[in-house]
Structure 1
């Protein structure tokens, strides 16, 4: 059995290369060590000779003992999210200082010294090819490789690599423009082919990964939705408490990864027992720990290197924001101070975790199938645009990870098929609010009676782990705002009491007092929870959901027309709306546009076809969504301009997905050529699940 990606057999590094690499890294780390000492942060060295000795001893200790130490202290390293590796390295330097005269280390230097040494090495690696991973495989993981190769399975494994949010057309542009040379080489060598597939409605990670990994995305109408029968609870695909509930609903225990599989940085687990950074498992802290983390921490400088790359990526975004502002690039959204670190978490930290743990899976040669999501492109395209230089920068970084995975195949006798795919695409465009000055909630509010209580969630569609960073901050902001509102109310009460006292006093008889007494102070409207509201407006990219929550059942077109006569015409007549879908008691599901109606059930069009620009399968997708239990009373899709390839997201995102229109519904799959998937038109994530399951079962039959 041959591997599907061409790899050369690994050559043992020559003694001269080994000595050269050792000397270069030694000198680099000494320089970093001295730089930290000059910063006066707790490290004192009396001479450069002492630095040479300390770094040399540390290198020997790391080479001989770090694989053992990282295995022993692995839980500590995992639960400190890598900070522990810096502390252990700092402790080793402190231990050396006891026996080597001329060095004192304390305080922040215990962390900064390992970081400084890694900084110089990382910068040097970018300029000089040190082949650090080859040495890492040979010196650190040779026991794992040797043990695995003795019991190699006689059938291939499969590694599914998802690039979150990348449409087929942007993939092709990235390859053509040289941003993804690894994938290009696979296509050029004819080891792989690429084809598109079509998402369901809605086109977002929750629905797509539920379908791909579990073969069931029924009743997932959007990124977030309302469950009327559950006290108007808003379910969120990435909710730490909601994701496990959703997986329990969609899983039958026979998911794509149920047979000796591994889940890496996914929304759902695919029923894999071996899961790292899988959202549906994150709430259980015990499941956060996994022995596979060893391959991430077994390199002593790995975390320090990733930390530096993380900070560099965050800096890149600050620079990007400045460039976008100076050049007045539009569409443009406000990213804020926190976002660059969220971006770096997705584009660097999660990326490196995925690759290191997958390399470990490959070298161990036991895992049969793995599914891993690379999040960086989707996160950046949301905020910068689908073809922004920042987005292509993310793709270059992801492509390098695929090269690393390809290279790791050299060290195992077991073949692995590498499959690259996406879960959805994105479509660019100025947001609904940027175009029209109002949000979808504002539009709905204009069309309903003033006394109705409306609640909305139109915040960014954070597919994965962005909320892990932003939710604590948002909670803090909410707490402070509540405190502020409470203080303001107390102050107003005090003012009112003071005015009453003035009014009763003889002094308070002038015109100034009349002005103060007669002036009506505008009060900010009270904020209500979703459970207290009578209307809930949600957004998932350019897909809007309107729930009339005074009624536990979905209202019909006829009932909405009678109760709120302005609502449907007002929505449809707005130029930012492409179409809405409602349920008619007489006609069934209706797709209504400004110039026409599509009677979906009987496949009849009156006037212009409102779905003309939304793909030939739009009717199929709407009919399917119409049957969902949690479908909204009114489903709203923004316009799509095929000439400009633009939509108007109801969230504040440059690149968006969730509804219909453009590349958001056209992801891709790059697969081993002999799979011949180009012969099968894949419509929907559940269909893709069946295709992948069939291929995987055939491979298992080769035992």
Structure 2
């Protein structure tokens, strides 16, 4: 008997032994959980009632019996209905089983809201009991595998597969802190046992998911200057990486058909497909409903309480965010932003719903064994770090829950019909800091508005005129004064903006009166803001991607040179460069090529010549390389702006209202990681850029 045959027989025995044990335990827990849920809902008086506890106990047993007998068949038949109703169909089917069982027992009635609330209560109690007694919810998956083995639908494969698990927005340093403080015990064990190693890598500019996943999944992130950008030659269209219409266009541009997932691959919860045929929650394919549906969804609805459990966890996460907001206010944690009433539900969708659905689908992929390579994005940490901070307890709690998903996948791997390697990586990091608006009392759009003629029509995706004042923080005037402490040169009197001798070919910039205090005073007395302009009629468009700003002068189809911008708006570049919140701006000179300009000097990117102090020093040794590459992009802005970065406090000033941000240069936002099997050869050179990482991963796929 060969090694593969022995492994196959051992694999079957492991599944059968585990399935038999967990089936009995799970069934008992569901029975007790259903009974306790009936008691809870009965006390709420929302439509469920029974004569005595024995009646409720019998009905709970009947519901469990119906689930065992009918749920697997009905879940398969009704799977499209469950998928396209986003799980509501599963709750209705649960309610129907309870109603049917209650109709067979005298003294038990159910109707109204209880038809939905009862399945949710059953799921909550069952999940709690399962956690206390360490009963594995995934036992049902193993039973499904047994059925398919007996029917010959699953064949053993000796060839390994690879599952890439992306933690969106997690920097290498914070990964190490999470492992050290006990938030990620599964990953710590992998490292301690020597099965995995961690390798850091460096993102491109810009450091955000659109550019990173384009490079990782397709090996091409050229011409993606930020999360959103303007295409002047396309009627000044604003392209957005997550746009339902834009993402397919972007993928068509970057794909050559040979992406990371082109061979029996699966894309789960990503921006782009990596040329996978099997996609779920992939932005570039969301408009195609046929591509949205997949049989892999069956593993989400393969047992009755699973979707209800996800709903319960969703609302628990909503509650946690409200608790987090309250705690930040009580402890006066800064920086902080006002998250509002809608955000907690958005967070619950990213941090719980997509997390749980994705893991269930991945377990199904592994136990079916048909997928050679899968790539999935877990969004929760990135979403929470944006709003709570990169090192907030809330963010580490999200990482702890993610680590539990990796443990579930590790367990499922033992029962898959082929060996799978698990790889955990991130696409970028985040850097903390009070926002530009919080520090200076105005947005990047407002600053631009102060430096150009008042009649100029400006459009911005993040306008302080409507959204930020009164929403970004509790008291914008007082908060701005707090962050402006020690920056008197910008608050009062006159500030003389003079270019360094490095730009002596440019006339000395005019004296510009400090604008910040004037701006705050106008809002304090309630002066009407400028009229909002649409992007189609704007002469200037200002966009933001974290602490990266993009300024497009949209009356001109071609990118303007430094000399042309100076002639049209003479105060604009000097005013930007000399602002405390700006680290550097990049423009392209007709005579000198691309230049990174700071308060005290210029870096000529073409040859690396420095005049005065190098403005790129705080941004790492490859800042010039990244900017030079971005300068070649087709849709690079006329003026690219990067906020300051303080290496001492490790802070940037995002142009968006986000505590943790990414998109530009500065700090941990450019420092992601890949935690890979120890036997992988990642080369001796540093991994710089997502395209380079793609090459290494493709090579590893071929070797595996």
Question: Shorter-chain-normalised TM-score: which range?
Answer: 0.7 to 0.9
> In 2, distance between residues paired with 1:338 and 1:35?
29
Q: Does 20-29 or 609-618 show the bigger shift?
A: 20-29
Unaligned runs of 5+ in 1: 461-520
| Shift in alpha-carbon separation, 1:276–1:459, aligned structure 2, 3 A | farther
Aligned residues of 2:272 and 2:284 also touching (Cα < 8 A): yes
Q: Does 31-40 or 258-267 show the bigger shift?
A: 31-40
Aligned residues of 1:265 and 1:276 also touching (Cα < 8 A): yes
Report the CA distance between 1:449 and its aligned residue.
0.7
Report the CA distance between 1:459 and its aligned residue.
7.5
Report the CA distance between 1:332 and its aligned residue.
0.4
Aligned CA RMSD, in angstroms, stands at 2.0
> In 1, distance between residues paired with 2:31 and 2:573?
71
Report the CA distance between 1:114 and its aligned residue.
1.2
TM-score normalised by L of structure 1:
0.88
Aligned residues of 1:579 and 1:611 also touching (Cα < 8 A): yes
| Shift in alpha-carbon separation, 1:604–1:160, aligned structure 2, 3 A | same
> In 2, distance between residues paired with 1:688 and 1:323?
40
Aligned residues of 2:19 and 2:143 also touching (Cα < 8 A): no
TM-score normalised by L of structure 2:
0.87
After superposition, give the CA deviation of every residue in 1:131-155 in whole Å (9 maximum; x if it has no partner).
Answer: 3323x23434422355679522221
| Shift in alpha-carbon separation, 1:21–1:207, aligned structure 2, 3 A | closer
> In 2, distance between residues paired with 1:352 and 1:583?
47
> In 2, distance between residues paired with 1:13 and 1:255?
37
After superposition, give the CA deviation of every residue in 1:644-682 in whole Å (9 maximum; x if it has no partner).
Answer: 111000000000000000010010001111112162311
Aligned residues of 2:148 and 2:154 also touching (Cα < 8 A): no
1:263 matched residue in structure 2: 267
For the residue of structure 2 that corresponds to 1:675, the secondary structure is coil
After superposition, give the CA deviation of every residue in 1:617-651 in whole Å (9 maximum; x if it has no partner).
Answer: 11111011000010000000000011111100000
1:112 matched residue in structure 2: 117
> In 1, distance between residues paired with 2:440 and 2:527?
26
- 1:599-638 map, 5 Å: 599-638=604-643
Report the CA distance between 1:299 and its aligned residue.
1.6
Q: Does 670-679 or 643-652 show the bigger shift?
A: 670-679
1:92 matched residue in structure 2: 97
Instruction: Select 2:244's aligned residue among 237, 240, 250.
Output: 240
2:254 matched residue in structure 1: 250
1:287 matched residue in structure 2: 291
Aligned pair count reads 635
Report the CA distance between 1:101 and its aligned residue.
2.0
1:542 matched residue in structure 2: 547
For the residue of structure 2 that corresponds to 1:44, the secondary structure is strand
2:515 matched residue in structure 1: none
Q: Does 343-352 or 521-530 show the bigger shift?
A: 521-530
- 1:541-560 map, 5 Å: 541-560=546-565
Report the CA distance between 1:97 and its aligned residue.
2.9
Q: Does 2:576 match 1:561?
A: no
Aligned residues of 1:381 and 1:655 also touching (Cα < 8 A): yes
> In 2, distance between residues paired with 1:232 and 1:271?
29
> In 1, distance between residues paired with 2:673 and 2:21?
45
Unaligned runs of 5+ in 2: 465-525
- 1:28-107 map, 5 Å: 28-107=33-112
For the residue of structure 2 that corresponds to 1:629, the secondary structure is coil
Report the CA distance between 1:258 and its aligned residue.
1.0
Q: Which of 1 and 2 has higher RCO (CA within 8 Å, sep 6+)?
A: 1
Aligned residues of 1:168 and 1:668 also touching (Cα < 8 A): yes
2:440 matched residue in structure 1: 436
After superposition, give the CA deviation of every residue in 1:522-549 in whole Å (9 maximum; x if it has no partner).
Answer: 7653322111000000000000000011
Aligned residues of 2:154 and 2:369 also touching (Cα < 8 A): no
Aligned residues of 1:140 and 1:299 also touching (Cα < 8 A): no
Q: Does 2:215 match 1:211?
A: yes
For the residue of structure 2 that corresponds to 1:677, the secondary structure is coil
2:422 matched residue in structure 1: 418
| Shift in alpha-carbon separation, 1:13–1:357, aligned structure 2, 3 A | closer
Report the CA distance between 1:582 and its aligned residue.
0.2
1:466 matched residue in structure 2: none
2:130 matched residue in structure 1: 125
Q: Does 140-149 or 246-255 show the bigger shift?
A: 140-149
Report the CA distance between 1:16 and its aligned residue.
8.0
Q: Does 2:637 match 1:657?
A: no
| Shift in alpha-carbon separation, 1:26–1:216, aligned structure 2, 3 A | same
